[in-house]
A = this chain, B = another copy of it.
């Protein structure tokens, strides 16, 4: 990957405002107003109160606007929010109010959604790795939609959630994803066909198939490849006498970090065209499971510079240590995979920029955020200054450790 300048130039083009022209469910009460790249007026107003750092500030209006934009781009699909991306109660409650559905990974996530008013019929237990007792508890709570990718899992579901609807996750490759997935989830299409028949034999309702093109997927055509595979399997399953009807498109919709990404409309148009072209007979029911795509650009993480140093007087590159690092919010900088845009108090102060390594506050040497990336920050930067990481609404609070090195988990404010 080519090194990128991460820093947001205040003069650069503004982040794209989400399209709001055809909200399908309700009118957006408070459309977000962007005052700088990655920063809404509400985020800026909250940060102006100088909250203790590190902290995340999430503008729920951005989440709502993203939700409506996705609905407009892909009106046929039911939107199941991937709760793991950010399970904050105010955020989940807002989505419940909008009529969203929820893709859940565990019983605690299920209970969270139900406690906030979600209908159990609108929840999917989307983790392919579930304890038998958790399947039973989910069934007891009214869930009837379960993911699987293995025979042992099917048997657990058949025993503890009899008659439920199940979908099989298939393996696809993840070219184009900035946070690609391993082979951990899914099975081969050949095995999926066998397992779907097996599901029917076990008294379950094998409703369809799912896949995942990889998180922060920047290539919309990746859904095409996966959909072709699914359409082919649908034909095979129909030949077997089954009636598959559900295509779960998974997650992977990107958020805007440093580089522009295609608009959600581009993804929607591509997926709709591929479905129309590839599937015979009645149009399949579509599910989409956005996490990052709904909440990523809704958050800004405010941190404090703790130390600026050099390893030797002869080195031009400085080390900038923040009070936020890989163990209290910025886990997705592992391997420098996700590159958040940055802004500081001193941007544009005329001192110029110089190269830095950006690191977290712990005594752990893997707690380095960006080393290979060509990050440049003001030469005037010093301890006590504030540094903001943009588009940090997803996968930050939840990855935070319980208190590694004694540092508290990431605080968060929902405005």
A residues sitting closer than 8 Å to B (CB atoms) are 82-84, 87, 104-109, 112, 126-132, 149-153, 156, 171, 180-188, 190-191, 194, 304, 306-313, 319, 321, 323, 327, 334, 357, 359, 361-368, 371, 382-384, 397-409
The answer, among B194, B311, B364, for a CB contact under 8 Å with A186, is B311
In this complex, the member of A107, A150, A153, A406 whose beta carbon has the largest number of chain B beta carbons within 10 angstroms is A406
Tell whether A406 pairs with B152 under 8 Å between CB atoms, given A188-B311, A306-B131.
no
Contacts of A106 in B (CB 8 A): 361, 405-407
Please state if A404 and B398 are interface contacts (CB–CB under 8 Å): yes
Please state if A105 and B406 are interface contacts (CB–CB under 8 Å): yes
In this complex, the member of A306, A357, A408 whose beta carbon has the largest number of chain B beta carbons within 10 angstroms is A306
The answer, among B309, B398, B403, B409, for a CB contact under 8 Å with A153, is B309
CB distance from A123 to the nearest CB of B (A): 13
CB distance from A350 to the nearest CB of B (A): 21
The answer, among B183, B194, B313, B397, for a CB contact under 8 Å with A402, is B397
Nearest 9 A-B pairs (CB), nearest first?
A: A150-B309, A108-B406, A106-B406, A181-B365, A188-B312, A109-B406, A105-B405, A182-B365, A129-B321
Contacts of A132 in B (CB 8 A): 383-384
Please state if A307 and B406 are interface contacts (CB–CB under 8 Å): no
Please state if A313 and B365 are interface contacts (CB–CB under 8 Å): no
* Chain A, interface SS category: loop
Please state if B184 and A308 are interface contacts (CB–CB under 8 Å): no
In this complex, the member of A171, A180, A407 whose beta carbon has the largest number of chain B beta carbons within 10 angstroms is A407
CB distance from A116 to the nearest CB of B (A): 14
Please state if B367 and A184 are interface contacts (CB–CB under 8 Å): yes
Please state if A187 and B311 are interface contacts (CB–CB under 8 Å): yes
Closest B residue, CB atoms, query A184: B365
CA distance A399 to B334 in the complex (A): 14
Closest B residue, CB atoms, query A400: B402
Contacts of A131 in B (CB 8 A): 304, 306, 323, 383
CA distance A21 to B362 in the complex (A): 37
Please state if A401 and B398 are interface contacts (CB–CB under 8 Å): yes
The answer, among B130, B191, B363, for a CB contact under 8 Å with A127, is B363
Please state if B408 and A309 are interface contacts (CB–CB under 8 Å): no
Please state if B311 and A183 are interface contacts (CB–CB under 8 Å): yes
Closest B residue, CB atoms, query A405: B105
Query: Can you sample 19 A-B contacts with CB below 8 Å?
Result: A84-B405, A87-B406, A104-B406, A109-B406, A112-B406, A127-B362, A128-B307, A129-B321, A129-B361, A150-B307, A152-B309, A185-B365, A187-B309, A187-B310, A334-B334, A398-B401, A398-B403, A398-B405, A402-B409
